[in-house]
């Protein structure tokens, strides 16, 4: 979806799409799973664990971060990541309210 067309959708729809984008790629799911199992995570750990290049990991971290699902702090020149649990809770509430309105009108 082109960025220029996002304006035709509600903020809620765009928010669901942004976070759904994170879960639409297996590498991003693997990154989230790995980070969730750590106290903190330096990007180089992700390269070793996930098996993708530093540049590719950084691109995926950018998408995850843009959705607000990561927190980070710098340790020297490296950045440590952890999950933004508050944002995950917000997303869970958003998804629940999104689908609760769905009616069973299907075969």
Are 28 and 22 in contact, with CB atoms under 8 Å apart? yes
Task: Tell me what pLDDT residue 85 has.
Answer: 92
Please indicate, yes or no, whether the overall pTM of this predicted structure exceeds 0.85: no
CA–centroid distance for 19 within its chain: 6
pLDDT in tens, 37-89: 887 667 678 888 899 998 999 899 999 999 999 988 777 777 788 899 999 99
Q: CA 56 from chain center: how many Å?
A: 15
If pLDDT is split at 50, 70 and 90, which confidence band does 98 have? Answer: confident
Q: To which residue do tokens 């995950």 refer?
A: 88
The three-class DSSP label of residue 36 is helix
CATH architecture, domain 10-89: Orthogonal Bundle (1.10)
The pLDDT tens digits for 5-38 are 878 888 888 888 888 999 999 999 999 999 988 8
Q: What is the mean pLDDT of residues 81-104?
A: 84
């Amino acid at each position: 979806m082109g960025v220029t067309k996002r304006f035709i959708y509600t903020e809620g729809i765009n928010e669901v799409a942004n976070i759904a984008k994170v879960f639409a790629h297996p590498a991003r799911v693997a990154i989230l799973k790995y980070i969730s199992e750590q106290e903190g995570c330096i990007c180089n750990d992700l390269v070793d664990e996930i098996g993708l290049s530093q540049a590719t990991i950084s691109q995926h971290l950018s998408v995850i971060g843009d959705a607000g699902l990561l927190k980070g702090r710098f340790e020297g020149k490296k950045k440590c990541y952890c999950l933004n649990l508050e944002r995950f809770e917000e997303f869970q509430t958003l998804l629940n309210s999104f689908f609760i309105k769905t009616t069973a009108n299907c075969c």
